[in-house]
Structure 1
Amino acid sequence: MTHPTTRRTLLRGSAATAALATAGLAARPAAAHADAPRKPGAGGPRIGILLYDGYSLLDPTGPAEVLSRLPGASVTMVAERRGPVRTDTGDVAVVADRSLAEAGRLDVLLVPGAGNRGVIAAMENQTLLKWIRATDRHTRFTTSVCTGSLVLAAAGLLDGRRATTYWASAEYLEKTYDVTYVPERFVESGKFITSAGVSAGLDMALHLAARLTDDDTARAIQLAVEYDPRPPFDSGDWRRASAELKARALKLLEDSQV
């Protein structure tokens, strides 16, 4: 038995569609190639986020959430080879849609951080460092999250610059490379924008969004993703943390990594 379409059912459908649209969930026609990376719009920035074994999950995915909302932007995960790349805990993998050879020219490069095993391997991976240097020659901005700044420094891109990194790696960054550590959420030095640990990548990405477009667009994206952090504990600043708390935080990271 068929049910007649009434004004009430149409209104219910319209209301449901409006509610879904508000949440970004309205139904859309199926794309011809749903599994293909989204192509940039006219004049939109091409943004490549590097993945390598052992990266920290929020480092690439947090900024990707922000930057993928830029009008016309194309955000692509890139790795040495296409396919899933696992995080430092080994529990989660993110798919790289393009290999280094397929990435092409990028307007923005983002290098995430990792646990000790992952970041040391990346810093010693000459194929990766060579690609980062070659890609940087054409970028408008080259960026990093957390210990990703160590990878940029290993590639020789931060010489003589100010930068930030994960708090526990700050001394290593300054002693090993010609870099001045600045204890801020993010630091812009020329075309290089580095951020502090993990969650600071969201702050950096919003700043980058403003640099790529304008402040109003970045503000709108911040509201769109409802980024208004009010953590239940006032313990996120290493400068005010006790030695005991810092030791426990580092132990939790160490124990969770593979």
Structure 2
Amino acid sequence: MTKPVLIVGFPGIQALDLVGPFEVFTGASHYLAAAGADDGYRVTIASVDGQPVHTGTGLALVAEPLPDPCTPRDTLVLPGGFGTEAAVADAELIDWVRAAAPHTRRVVSVCTGAFLAAEAGLLDGCPATTHWAFADTLAKRYPAVRVDPDPIFVRSSPRVWTAAGVTAGIDLALALVEDDHGTEAAQTVARWMVMYLRRPGGQTQFAAPVWMPRARRAPIRGVQEAIEAEPGRAHRISDLAQRAAMSPRHFTRVFTTEVGEAPGTYVERIRTEAARRQLEETGDTVTVVAARCGFGTAETMRRSFIRRLGVSPDQYRRTFS
């Protein structure tokens, strides 16, 4: 029997949060039908009033009225988008999600759709992820949720999954197809969508840019720029403090306050970003890249990659070069 999948729509939704999982589930249905199976997915989009759902970029999507929440369904998808704030404040929508969850085999949030799941109480006491830019807000607003900003997606509970922003919804939908129908089905759908990679849930959100606030004080900004311009230099605290015309202790305190992390941590972040780009763009060995980016040894760089990105340099290169 086909598995009913319902994707909740609301004004200001992120188009790809909705369309990505939609295409994965419908693509899997076409694959399964061609293989003679009759257990694909029946995907519908529904909104509170049944009116077309307008995305944040103006695209209008046809929607049905939200059905009886007690109707059994296989999968409920809660997308995100810039309209999430208004959706979270819509008591009718949240009450429907809360009532529908017990009658659904699995609930999936994509991007800021995690706010809808959290508001409905589905993530209390659970690990969860969301788009890296909104992770801090989710954690502050819902302290009962254990927010992890790094993974592509997380199985938050036996029945609830949360995914990071935008394209991560495709990764999670493919993982669910794999759970339901096996690796070949998921791989075929991914190839049909011309995806060069199917990312595992534990992978770090590599798409998050290495962005750090610029210090207000010109001497500290100068140090930041020096580190970024030449990540391979030694960048000892004493040298950085001298550049800023401060004592090492005072420099460390001011830098941490203005930038948000200690100088050594900042240096490692910039070096990791530089090494990441070189692994993508050059054929140089890991040892050469490690030395050029200031890590000294390949082992030091490997530990930094695993700590910051969740994969080794070799794994990263195989994936992204």
Answer yes or no: same fold by TM over 0.5.
yes
SS in 1 for 2:84: helix
Q: Rg larger in 1 or in 2?
A: 2
**3-state DSSP of counterpart to 1:187:** strand
Partner in structure 2 of residue 54 of structure 1: 12
State the alpha-carbon separation in 2 of the partners of residues 192 and 186 from structure 1: 11
Question: Paired residue for 2:80, among 113, 125, 129?
Answer: 113
Q: What secondary structure is seen at the aligned counterpart in 1 of 2:104? A: coil
- Is 1:95–2:65 an aligned residue pair? no
One-letter amino acid matched to 2:22: A
Residue equivalent to 1:168: 133
Shift of 1:213: 1.9
**Which of 210, 227, 235 does residue 240 from structure 1 map onto?**
210
Residues 104-152 of structure 1: CA deviation (Å, up to 9, x unaligned)? 432100000011xx11111111110111111111111100110000110
1:192 aligned to 2:157? no
TM-score (norm 2): 0.57
Q: Check if 1:130 corresponds to 2:92.
A: no
Q: How many residues align?
A: 194
Equivalents in 2 of 1:192, 1:114: separation in Å? 19
Provide the residue aligned with 1:150 in structure 2.
Answer: 115
CA distance in 2, matches of 1:184, 1:239: 15
Work out the CA distance in 1 between the residues paired with 2:209 and 2:194. 27
Q: Report deviation, 1:101.
A: 3.0
Deviation, structure 1 residue 215: 1.8
Code of the residue aligned with 2:75 in structure 1: it is V
Say if 2:185 is the partner of 1:220.
no
**Equivalent AA in structure 1 for residue 132 of structure 2:** W
Within a 5 Å distance, the mapping from 1:192-211 to structure 2 comes to 192-211=160-179
Partner of 2:47: 79
Distance (Å, rounded) in 2 between the aligned partners of 1:141 and 1:54: 24
**Secondary structure, counterpart of 1:131 in structure 2:** helix
Structure 1: give runs of 5+ residues left out of the alignment.
1-42, 245-258
**Letter in structure 2 aligned against 1:76:** T
Query: Counterpart of 2:122 in structure 1: which amino acid?
Result: L
Q: What does residue 277 of structure 2 align with?
A: none
Cα distance between partner residues in 1 of 2:56 and 2:73: 26
1:235-256 CA distance string (max 9 Å, x none): 9532634447xxxxxxxxxxxx
What is the root-mean-square deviation of aligned Cα atoms in Å?
A: 2.0
Which structure shows the bigger proportion of residues in helix conformation?
2
TM-score of the pair, normalised by structure 1: 0.70
Query: What secondary structure sits across from 1:48 in the alignment?
Result: strand
User: Alpha carbons of 1:243 and 1:208: their partners in 2 closer, same or farther (altered >3 Å)?
Assistant: farther
Measure how far apart 1:45 and its partner are.
Answer: 1.0
Taking the aligned partners of 2:134 and 2:52, their CA distance within structure 1 comes to 27
- % identical equivalent positions: 36
* Structure with the larger RCO, 1 or 2 (CA within 8 Å, 6+ apart): 1
